[in-house]
Amino acid sequence: MSGEVSLSVAAGSVRSSVESAPAIPAPAWAPTLRAVARREWLTAVRRPGDLLWHAGFFVMVAALFPLSLRPDPATLLLLGPGVLWVAALLAVLLATGRLFHDDLKSGWLDQCVLASAAAGVPLALIVAARMAVQWLLAAGPVLAVAPLVALQFGLNAAALGVLLAGLALGTAVLVALASVAAALAAGLRGAALLTMLMVLPMAAPVMVFGALAVHAAQGGAPAGAELSLLGAMLAAAALVCPVLGALALRSATEA
């Protein structure tokens, strides 16, 4: 609640400052973006159970694989990278699937569109701020427990480092893609499932390169190429996804 208030307050103050100096609206972006990020952060911190649940889901999915397959070390070593990536992917998608659904229902998105118009902040920037916070909240817990799960699958130290770096980059791409899909599905029947259906084919490249990097590190080979590709994907996603997400949100609020 306080987040919504602070957003509108920020938008109001921004509007007055824009009226006094219409030539340079750029510095006025900061308070709006800070308000958006603060609201997300506060709502997440007030319900820490959700954050724990993301991490718990990741551990549970990863733990199901050794139980359902042969649990000898060689098999686990072979399957480890793929399993870890699939589990991380599912955890992040589950967290991001309903990202804009409740916001649309509660009217926060309409506020957001109005505030962006009033303050001269592009909606894409607000969406980008939202994605950044969502990445911290959804991928942070997963990254935090990843060493624990990697231990179960017998990953060595070098592979663990590459896994963490790859997950950090890859989950950011996934969050960006899933946010666009969530914006497209906001307010529709079965929004979370629809988001999954849209994102899974697009998530394939991230998963492929992420798992490849860990495989390479396991075998003692350098994983720089795969990590660079993940970084390139992140750069492209950071450019394209906020714009597409803003487009989707605009049509969702107009409807």
Nearer to another protein, 27 or 190 (CB): 190
For the bound state, the minimum distance from the C-beta of residue 60 to another protein, rounded and expressed in Å, comes to: 25
Say how many Å lie between the first and final Cα of the chain, rounded: 25
Closest distance between another protein and the C-beta of residue 217, in Å? 14
Which C-beta is closer to another protein: that of 123 or that of 248? 248
Closest approach, Cβ 6 to another protein, in A, equals: 29
Q: With H, G, I as helix, E, B as strand and everything else as coil, classify residue 255.
A: coil
Contact 7, 39 (CB under 8 A): yes
For residue 105, how many other CB atoms are within 10 A of its CB?
11
Q: CB nearer to another protein: give 5 or 204.
A: 204
Burial of 178 (0-12, 13-18, 19+ CB in 10 A): buried
Nearest-approach distance from CB 250 to another protein, in angstroms: 8
What gap in Å lies between CA 105 and CA 148, rounded to an integer?
38
What residues line the site for another protein (CB under 8 A)? 177, 180-181, 184-185, 188-190, 194, 197-198, 200-202, 204-205, 208-209, 212, 233, 236, 240-241, 244, 247-248, 250-252, 254-255
What is the 3-class SS of 6-70, one letter each residue?
Answer: HHHHHHHHHHHHHHHCCCCCHHHHHHHHHHHHHHHHHHHHHCHHHHHHHHHHHHHHHHHHHHHCC
Closer residue to another protein in complex, CB, 55/199 = 199
Minimum gap (Å) between residue 86 Cβ and another protein: 14
CB of 183 to another protein, least distance (A): 8
Comparing CB distances to another protein, the nearer of 119 and 229 is: 229
Residue whose CB is less far from another protein, 146 or 237: 237
CA 91 to chain centre: 10
